[in-house]
A = this chain, B = another copy of it.
Amino acid sequence: MLKLSKKADYGLLAVNHLTLYRSQGSVSARDIGKTYRIPVGLLAKVLQRLVQKGLLKSEHGANGGYRLAKPAEFISALDVISAIDGPVVITSCKTERGECVQTPACTVKEPLRRVNDRIVEALSSLSFAHINNPTFRLAAN
């Protein structure tokens, strides 16, 4: 349906929160969840995944939580989305479980691949530094 998963939405929201509050050290999943009314357990999973992918760093224990692993301008929406949902591919032509049966005869996969490239480009040009710039614009607009 060409929609981001809720997990990806939550991830974007959380990373942006960590960007906004990065001067205050770590923020817990609990705090972020409360702020945006996201189920805390689920959000924790999402954040753990972002740690695994090297986008965030975590701190255990009281006063622990999450913080950005690098400056906000080096974290893109694509980074977050693909960390959570896997690679951005709008078609089902090929997945980890092989190709779809249409692939050999498919006359539209090449154009769709180009559309896909455009989407990837738009998402990767959108960093969190960018997002919080009040006068931001997407690149190449």
Asked whether B126 lies within 8 Å of A111 as measured between CB atoms, the reply is: yes
> CA A132 – CA B115 in complex, angstroms?
15
Q: Count residues of chain A with CB under 8 A from any CB of chain B.
A: 48
Alpha-carbon distance A16/B9, docked complex (angstroms): 33
Among B20, B92, B136, the residue within 8 A (CB) of A3 is B92
A2 within 8 Å of B (CB atoms)? yes
* A91, CB-defined interface residue at 8 Å: yes
Determine whether the beta carbon of B119 is less than 8 Å from that of A16.
Answer: no
| Residues on A facing B (Cβ under 8 Å) | 1-6, 8-9, 12-13, 16-17, 20, 35-38, 77, 81, 85-86, 88-92, 101-102, 105-108, 111-112, 114-115, 118-119, 122-123, 126, 130-132, 136-138, 140
